[in-house]
Homo-oligomer: A and B are copies of this chain.
């Protein structure tokens, strides 16, 4: 057994992407590393998991022969599940890093992102987890500008831990190192996608739609991730997998008492039990 931290690394762009190599570079400075990543790009997979077909897993030396690494035919969330149940062989990671994604996962993109869904899956298991994204979509993106921020956050989280059930969504602007102004802790912007479907016909005359779109930030607040990035900051949104709208819990209780719709009848036993349980 090693006294060094154990760091699980994954992504959604696939095990050969440049961003995961950048994360591994930092992770091995701090601890032992296990990589489990998709064998092909899995962008926009969200929290999808593979249940109707089997998943193939192979050892990989894509990140160097001295790195324990596996590539898998499933989604990013599958990678984390497989790591936990099979490949970690009983070990518990101290930290999960996902990315570095090619392109922004700020604002509502956390919902669509395989990178962030993998981090969230790790958070479900109580593993402190950070998803990193770089606002540079080019295949040959130079991730070196990201490294000091990755290093700072890995150091911080290994030293201080993370609130249970939480994960950090970190986005890094596409600027030279000297022009990045620092790091901002932010809320998720209420931005959205305006879809533009290309409509055409396939060679057999079947009409099809192909998704494209524009990211639109109409959120005018200045404490959001989208705003921080526009201003040249690295954004960090502490995020949760508990989606409950806690503020609505009390006000919505009216919906319970209103429920005597036609067709629902209660047995005496049920009414008695309902009364007993009313206080919970």
Contact = CB atoms under 8 A, between A and B. Distances in A.
B238 A248 contact: yes
A256 interface: yes
A202 B243 contact: no
B280 A223 contact: yes
The count of identical subunits is: 2
B246 A81 contact: no
Main secondary structure of the interface of A (DSSP, over half): mixed
Given A245-B238, A256-B185, A85 B196 contact: yes
Interface string A225-254: 001000111001111111111101100110
22 contacts: A46-B46, A47-B47, A47-B112, A53-B210, A82-B209, A85-B196, A124-B192, A148-B262, A149-B261, A152-B258, A169-B243, A177-B263, A178-B265, A178-B270, A182-B259, A185-B253, A188-B242, A231-B280, A232-B270, A236-B255, A237-B244, A238-B245
Interface of A: 41, 43-57, 75, 77-78, 81-82, 84-86, 108, 110-112, 117, 120, 124-125, 147-149, 151-153, 155-156, 163, 165-166, 169, 177-188, 190, 192, 195-197, 199-200, 202, 206-211, 222-223, 227, 231-233, 236-246, 248-249, 252-253, 255-256, 258-259, 261-267, 270, 273-274, 277, 280
Given A151-B261, A152-B258, 9 more contacts: A41-B52, A45-B48, A46-B48, A50-B211, A82-B209, A124-B192, A163-B245, A177-B265, A181-B273
